[in-house]
Amino acid sequence: MGRMEAFISRLSTRNNFWHRVCSLIWLPYAFRSGIRMKRIDKRTFTAVLPFRRFNRNWYNAMAGASLLANSEIAGGMYLFAAVGGDYTVVCKELSYRFLRPCLGPAIYRVEPVEDLEALIDTHEEFNIEIDLSVYQQRLPVPGKKKGKEREVRVGKCTATFHVTPKQQIEAKEKRRPTA
């Protein structure tokens, strides 16, 4: 069973298709929101949340709950892709600051505060804090001169995740007395 779980974990971080399939089964709200992940380079990671009816509120802006919940998913997927399927990633604390309404697709930019590679090399459980900047994607307006559209920052988020090796969890389960 553990090998199957590790296989599915690695599969879900491979590309957006498998991420969507796995989220349909285990994270249906993330599936409905339509969030897509994209790794720019080894240190930079972005996620795009489309501006759909499912994500909007009564004021025709992006719902705050969608921005908040998908920031946890974006940060968790960044960590999960970095540490791999041999670790369990759990969000411990999430702090979101709303700066202005989001009236278009949201872009999450994820950056770790600490050195993630050094923490992974210890092969022990650790807590890591990451920063997420949330921007509103500017789409070109028909009839306007094409230029450099700037992205508007709509929120900032700080999240603390707890990362545990699955081998450590299995060893703890074996030590637990059976009733």
Res 97: pLDDT: 93
pLDDT band at 127 (very low <50, low <70, confident <90, very high): very high
Does 136 score more than 60 pLDDT? yes
Specify the pTM: 0.76
Q: Which of 13-27, 88-102, 112-126 has the lowest mean pLDDT?
A: 13-27
Domain coordinates in residue numbering, the chain: 35-175
Res 85: pLDDT: 74
- Residue % of the chain over a pLDDT of 90: 18
Closest CA to 35 of 106, 135, 112, 111: 106
Q: Which of 5-19, 76-90, 98-112 has the lowest mean pLDDT?
A: 5-19
Q: What is the CATH number of domain 35-175?
A: 3.10.129.10
For the chain, what is the mean pLDDT? Answer: 81
Q: How far apart are alpha carbons 105 and 138 in whole angstroms?
A: 8
Res 13: pLDDT: 67
Location of structure tokens 């028909």: 142
Closest CA to 53 of 63, 41, 67: 63
